[in-house]
């Protein structure tokens, strides 16, 4: 009798746990209209850019552990389109992963709904088109998987979070690039931050600017959405604390600069602990010699709300771009 009672209690508890787990998960229903648009390029000349809901980069998928994400994609391109959700584990669900072979592309003029669960995951990820070199033309965007409210996060809640999608960019039409066999050896033209050209590059196009308040701490989710170049990320006069990468919290190390390779994502905490002013956010390519005014040096602005001045001084210096040991040692120190 007692054991029947105990097993009843156990199964009831198990049922309640399952119920609790399923009731806290939300369904995130998204509709994406994917187009090619000539007006979204980072420079003043027209070039085809892949936009989602008229955005480049695409919209944030802001999910929480165990949420169900459903993305109804309308392909308005003139060719097949396939999205991949880089780093989302797709347990028993590999046909939603959006890579050629497990998943058919969406035909032009039709729509298809991806559905997946961000099961037991946290962290910073990106999505992008996985076939036909389309990623060279955009179509990428940020994915956040936030902790459930009941889970302790190993650092204080930041004042705000910013997604910084940084990556190399070419002014050549992506269809032209893919038609050339030597595509992979071409040096890109620029490095963009959130789809925007470097500060000072163009008067007609915006640069990326991030607003912060003195004394507060912010989480930057930095991803390399490029195709060729690794970069070194740093902020003038500010340090950063690495807290998360690729879906795991890390040992918290304080850095002056951070190397991010193609496809990688990191979260760093940055405290606005300097005088009210504007500061450079830069990303310089690895394995290339560049000068500060090169479009291959991405430049954004960290803008303090009370700042009355523009960015000034020289760009923050980083490691020698050819110093592979720096890169390897830094990667080894992050666990
Ligand atoms: C993302 O979702 C979290 C949890 O629901 C919420 O607190 C946060 O404000 C959302 N952020 C954005 C940018 O929508
Ligand atoms: C296409 O979109 C419609 C809504 O506009 C939706 O009802 C339908 O399920 C979608 N088709 C697929 C295959 O996802
Ligand atoms: C890059 O610059 C360094 C130091 O100025 C120089 O030694 C090296 O030859 C340059 N490399 C290339 C590929 O230009």
Residue 47: CB atoms within 10 Å: 19
How many whole angstroms separate alpha carbon 11 and alpha carbon 215?
50
Per-residue CA distances from 221 to 60, 97, 106, 127, 143 (Å): 12, 22, 29, 14, 10
Residues 253 and 190 in one domain: yes
CB within 6 Å of ligand 1 — which residues? Answer: 62, 64, 146
The terminus-to-terminus CA distance of the chain in angstroms comes to: 51
Nearest CA to ligand 2 atom 13: 112
Q: Which ligand neighbours the alpha carbon of 289 most closely?
A: 3
CA of 297 to the centre of ligand 3 (A): 16
Q: How many domains is the chain partitioned into structurally? A: 2
Nearest CA to ligand 1 atom 6: 62
Which of the listed residues 105, 123, 146 is the one where a domain comes to its end?
146
Instruction: Give the position, in ligand 2's atom list, of the atom nearest the Cα of 113.
Output: 14
**What six digits make up the tokens of 153?**
């996060």
Residue the block writes with tokens 């929480």: 64
Residues 117 and 242 in one domain: no
Residue 154 in any domain: the answer is no
How many whole angstroms separate alpha carbon 16 and alpha carbon 201?
58
Q: Which ligand neighbours the alpha carbon of 30 most closely?
A: 2
Helix-strand-coil split of the chain, %, nearest 5: 15, 40, 45
Which of the listed residues 85, 119, 146 is the one where a domain comes to its end?
146
Along the 335 residues of the chain, how does pLDDT read in single tens digits? 444 555 544 554 444 444 445 556 899 999 999 999 999 999 888 999 999 999 999 999 999 999 999 999 999 999 999 999 988 888 777 777 777 777 899 999 999 999 999 999 999 999 999 998 999 999 999 999 999 999 999 999 999 999 999 999 999 999 988 888 655 567 899 999 999 999 999 888 999 999 999 999 999 999 999 999 999 999 999 999 999 998 999 999 999 999 999 999 999 999 999 999 999 999 999 999 999 999 999 999 999 999 999 999 999 999 999 999 999 999 999 99
Q: Which ligand neighbours the alpha carbon of 71 most closely?
A: 2
Nearest CA to ligand 1 atom 2: 62
User: Which of 106, 111, 115 gets mutated to test ligand 2 (max ligand atoms within 8 A of its CB)?
Assistant: 111
Exposed/middle/buried for residue 46 (C-beta within 10 Å: 0-12, 13-18, 19+): exposed
Helix or strand or coil: residue 102?
coil
Domain that holds residue 235: 160-333
How many whole angstroms separate alpha carbon 87 and alpha carbon 77?
25
Residue 151 in any domain: the answer is no
Helix or strand or coil: residue 181?
helix
- Residue 25 sits in a domain whose CATH number is 2.60.40.420
């Amino acid at each position: 009798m007692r054991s029947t009672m105990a097993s009843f209690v156990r199964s009831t508890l198990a049922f309640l746990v399952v119920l609790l787990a399923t009731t806290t998960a939300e369904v995130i229903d998204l509709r994406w209209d994917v187009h090619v648009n000539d007006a979204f390029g980072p420079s003043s000349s027209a070039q085809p850019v892949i936009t989602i809901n008229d955005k480049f980069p695409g919209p944030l998928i802001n999910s929480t552990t165990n949420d169900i994400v459903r993305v109804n994609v309308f392909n308005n391109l003139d060719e097949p389109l396939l999205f991949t959700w880089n780093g989302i584990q797709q347990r028993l669900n590999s046909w939603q992963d959006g890579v050629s072979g497990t998943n058919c592309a969406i035909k032009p003029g039709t729509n298809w709904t991806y559905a997946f669960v961000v099961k037991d995951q946290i962290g910073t990820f990106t999505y992008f088109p996985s076939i036909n070199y389309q990623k060279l033309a955009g179509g990428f965007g940020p994915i956040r998987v936030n902790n459930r409210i009941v889970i302790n996060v190993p650092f204080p809640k930041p004042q705000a979070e910013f997604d910084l999608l940084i990556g190399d960019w070419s002014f050549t039409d992506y269809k032209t690039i893919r038609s050339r066999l030597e595509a992979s050896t071409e040096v890109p033209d620029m490095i963009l931050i959130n789809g925007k050209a470097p500060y000072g590059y163009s008067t007609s196009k915006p640069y990326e600017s991030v607003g912060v308040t003195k004394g507060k701490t912010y989480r930057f989710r930095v991803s390399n959405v490029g195709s060729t170049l690794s970069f070194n990320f740093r902020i003038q006069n500010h340090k950063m604390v690495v807290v998360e990468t690729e879906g795991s919290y890390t040992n918290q190390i304080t850095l002056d600069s951070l190397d991010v390779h193609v496809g990688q994502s990191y979260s760093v905490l940055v405290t606005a602990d300097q005088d009210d002013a504007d500061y450079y956010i830069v990303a310089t390519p690895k394995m290339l010699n560049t000068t500060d005014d090169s479009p291959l040096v991405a430049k954004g602005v960290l803008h303090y709300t009370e700042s009355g001045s523009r960015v000034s001084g020289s760009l923050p210096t980083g490691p020698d771009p050819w110093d592979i040991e720096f890169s390897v040692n830094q990667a080894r120190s992050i666990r």
